[in-house]
Amino acid sequence: MRYAVLGTGIVGRTIAAKLAALGHEVAIGTRDPEATLARTGRDAMGNPPFAQWQAEHPQVRLATFADAVSSSDAVVNATSGAAALDALGLAGADNLDGKVVLDIANPLDFSGEGLPVLDPVNTDSLGERIQAAFPGARVVKTLNTMNSAVMVDPARVAGEHDVFVSGNDADAKKAVTELLVSIGWPERNIIDLGDITTARGTEMLLPIWLRLMNAVGHTDFNFHIQGARPTA
């Protein structure tokens, strides 16, 4: 498979590296590849410059959003929530038509004091906004309830824990489920919540996730839904 991963931060890098390790052809999309490669300082999260990371992952191509998506079979939105619609718009609606778009981002607003808040929230979600803005895309919300290291290595968290999928297209959710299994998620721990409106629920786990991070002092944790398994 050919994947376009939108976003050059730690989440995009981690997902891209895992997809490449699984044998997929991967391009990371950014607004301006030359500017991205020219940065020499660490980013806001303390991660090393992208050029250093790419030197360690030469099999992953850097491209514009449009170039990455036009040559892909599927897309991963690993941008910040605030940048998602703009990045996908630059990728081009025609390039997104018919493709599975894994939305693993969260619409966190960092403009206030203290912990970030969700925007939108409760009656809308980033997943829904992406689907509404790009109706030809097959959006599946998943992997947004954990850190990027756990996304690609579920064994980092001991015991049973779960990943959720939300989307309108059953075949798209099936394809995403197969990808999650290939990453290492047991199929019994993949819970289909329903259509894309259920992304509201998984995005609203972020406030408790952030407070758990502060309470336990690390981010290698996830949610497990005990005693509530889907029935055939």
- Give the mean pLDDT of 34-38: 96
Evaluate whether 95 touches 121 at the Cβ level (below 8 Å).
no
CATH 3.40.50.720 fits 2-216, yes or no: yes
109 bridge partner residues: 117
**Nearest alpha carbon to residue 139 among 70, 95, 75:** 75
Count of other CB atoms within 10 angstroms of residue 148: 20
Q: How far apart are CA 103 and CA 86, in angstroms?
A: 14
φ/ψ of 26, rounded to 5, equals -125, 135
* Average pLDDT of span 85-104: 98
Q: Please give the average per-residue pLDDT across 60-83, as a whole number.
A: 97
What are the sequence ranges of the domains in the chain?
2-216
Read off the pLDDT of residues 17-28 as tens digits, 9 standing for 90 and up: 999 999 999 999
Type of residue at 127: G
Instruction: Tell me the whole-structure pTM to 2 decimals.
Output: 0.96
How far is residue 198's CA from residue 143's CA, in Å, rounded to a whole number?
A: 14
Q: Is the pLDDT of residue 79 over 90?
A: yes
Of all helices (H) and strands (E), which one includes residue 15?
helix 10-21
